[in-house]
Structure 1
Amino acid sequence: MLELIDRGCTSSQHPVPLVFVHGAWHAAWCWEENFLGYFADRGYHAVAVNLRGHGGRPARQSLNRCSIADYVGDVGEVADRLSVAPVVIGHSMGGLIVQKYLETRRAPAGVLLASVPTRGATGFLLRWARQHPWKVTKSAVTRNSLSLLDTEEAVRDRFFSATTPDEVVAQCADRLQEESSRASWDGALLNLPRPKRITAPLLVMGAEQDGCFTTAEVHATARAYRTKAEIFPGMGHDMMLEPAWPTVAERIDAWLVSNGL
């Protein structure tokens, strides 16, 4: 059962719909806060999907058994219901899902926001383990990844800049949920992107104060796709929720227009 947040409709200016894919611990709500209304107001058909087991959507199996391939299938199901192949826009783990989707599906373009790198999320996990060895070990043993984000301070460290208002961090912390351990392993080692299989143009964007992926990793991802990364100063990992989110949305809009979309 698909669960979507659907805003706007296609127009003569923007005949291609946009599908937004959320990252780990998040759900479609992270796009509804700012991005869906922004793009709908500019004549786009903007759709955000709740991946299985996220938001109010049940999983067909235990959440911890859901794989990246399952999530790619969710995006494909959304695309198949649209009149034309959509632009796919993914954040964090959603960026990995977009990359895997584009390996086998045709799309006019893709956008990666603070995405899992082409080399996988191992670097991120190791950095987290060095900072909080006991918490990461306990989380791995219990398969309870949400325990890593059990305080607003932890949420800020991973997802937001040092200057993001406390209320923004608190609202996000209240809505985070458990993530699949199988999908985490896929993103670290088992199901990494294969850039040579992807032909769609990509916009690769990163955040200067990202607590998950380094700017060096973002640049390496862009090089793998024969493009240049765009890094947004003073911004944390959750680029669509940070106070400066309009600068990110405006850049995506301008890039889509430049590509005739």
Structure 2
Amino acid sequence: MAGQPVVFIHGLWLHATSWNPWIDFFRNEGYDPVAPGWPDEPGSVEEARANPDAVADKSIDDITGHYAAIIEALDTPPVIIGHSFGGLITEKLIGQGYGNAGVAIDPAQIKGVLPLPLAQLKAALPGLGNPANLKRSVALTEKEFKFGFGNELTDEESKELFDAWAIPSPARPLFEAASANFRVHSQAKVDTGNEDRGPLLLVSGTKDHTVPDVTTEATLKQYRDSNAVTDLTKFHGRGHSLTIDHGWRDVATEILVWLRQQHANE
């Protein structure tokens, strides 16, 4: 009998294969995990770096629709786990009724979230700094990756992660999220009032530059009008790299405990 399916969704600037340790971990715990790439994402880090235009101009709705189709093809509603913009996509999918539980790790800000700390602006600058990037794919430098992802890591570990997983990504989602509160019909809007959705766990790294803790706390407040389960857990002293750095297993283990609690309460 197949285990509970899990769909992992990565964020900007990381390749889908960065979830490989999580896939092994969840499979060993009896789940049936997959980590599909974003639409048109090449199958390897090397191919993605060699063909950056493959993912250029992809929007939040493009990415959400891509994963919705993957989920619809499954026999059983999955757990959906996303990081960064993958967390925002997870929130959209759960709000639309997909999946039986969701985990949004350091999720990009949705419409309605107002805090925009300076560190977050700086981390987004590689994409947002040039309006012409809207339809382009953008890559981080090693220094930019260190600030946005590896600020709580040694230079050596940050470089190792950059070399292993960093890829060019579309800048359009950054622009869509940044302008969300100025647009009536923003693609960064999530149905936070859905009472019938599965439980949702928000995860924050308290030293995250890319999605600061205050941003995730503000995201939690957007769910105040729903009686559906919405929880927040924090990993103190952790940055945006918390899904791929030396401490990833601590994050995965706490998520697994939370998931089992939800299923025990069903």
Q: TM-score when scaled to structure 1?
A: 0.80
Query: Where does residue 61 of structure 2 map in the other structure?
Result: 69
Q: 1:158 aligns with which of 132, 145, 148?
A: 148
Structure-2 separation of matches of 1:136 and 1:146: 6
Deviation of the 1:82 alpha carbon: 1.6
- What one-letter code is carried by the residue in structure 2 that aligns with 1:140? P
Q: Deviations over 1:109-141 (max 9, x none)?
A: 1001000123478865964556897x6675433
Report the alpha carbon displacement of residue 247 of structure 1 after superposing the two structures with TM: 1.1
Q: 1:53 to 1:124 in 2, by over 3 A?
A: farther
The aligned runs of 1:91-110 (5 Å cut-off) are: 91-110=83-102
Residues 202 and 225 of structure 1 are in contact (CA less than 8 Å); yes or no, is this contact kept in structure 2? no
Q: Which amino acid aligns with 1:186?
A: E
Assess if the C-alpha contact under 8 Å between 1:128 and 1:136 holds in 2. no
Query: How far 1:241 moved relative to its partner?
Result: 0.7
- SS where residue 64 of structure 2 aligns? helix
Which residue in the other structure is 1:54 paired with?
41
2:160 partner letter:
A
Whether 1:197 aligns to 2:188 is: no
Deviation at residue 159 of structure 1 after TM alignment? 0.7
Residue 216 of structure 1 corresponds to which residue in structure 2?
214
Q: C-alpha offsets along residues 233-257 of structure 1, whole Å, 9 cap, x if unaligned? A: 1211122112111110111110111
Report what 1:44 is aligned to.
31
Query: For residues 126 and 207 of structure 1, what CA distance do their matches in structure 2 show?
Result: 16
1:21 aligns with 2:9: yes
Equivalent position amino acid for 1:48 in 2: A
Q: Is 1:181–2:171 an aligned residue pair?
A: yes
2: CA distance, partners of 1:46 / 1:255: 17
SS in 2 for 1:197: coil
Contact residue 56 and residue 137 of structure 2 kept, 8 A: no
Structure 2: how far apart are the matches of 1:122 and 1:53?
32
Instruction: Give the superposition deviation at 1:157.
Output: 0.9
Instruction: Tell me if the contact between 1:158 and 1:237 (Cα under 8 Å) persists in the aligned partners.
Output: yes
The one-letter amino acid of 1:56's match is G
Q: Is the 8 A contact 1:89 1:112 kept in 2?
A: yes
User: After the TM superposition, which of the residue ranges 40-49 and 64-73 deviates more from structure 2?
Assistant: 64-73
Residues paired across the two proteins, number: 244
Deviations 1:73-96 (A, max 9, x none): 111121122210111111000011
Deviations 1:198-218 (A, max 9, x none): 622101101011111111111
Give the unaligned 5+ runs of structure 2. Answer: 181-185, 225-229
For residue 204 of structure 2, give the secondary structure of its aligned residue in structure 1.
Answer: strand
Letter in 1 for 2:11: G
Separation of aligned partners in 2, 1:37 and 1:201 = 24
The alignment status of 1:118 with 2:116, answered yes or no, reads no
Percent of pairs with identical residues: 25
Task: Report 1:248-259 matches (<5 A).
Answer: 248-259=251-262
- Using structure 2 for the length normalisation, give the TM-score: 0.79
The CA RMSD measured in Å over matched residues stands at: 3.0
* Shift in CA distance, 52/42, structure 1 to aligned 2, threshold 3 Å: same
Cα separation, 2, equivalents of 1:160 and 1:120:
28
Deviations 1:164-208 (A, max 9, x none): 461453332453222223322222223122311362210110101
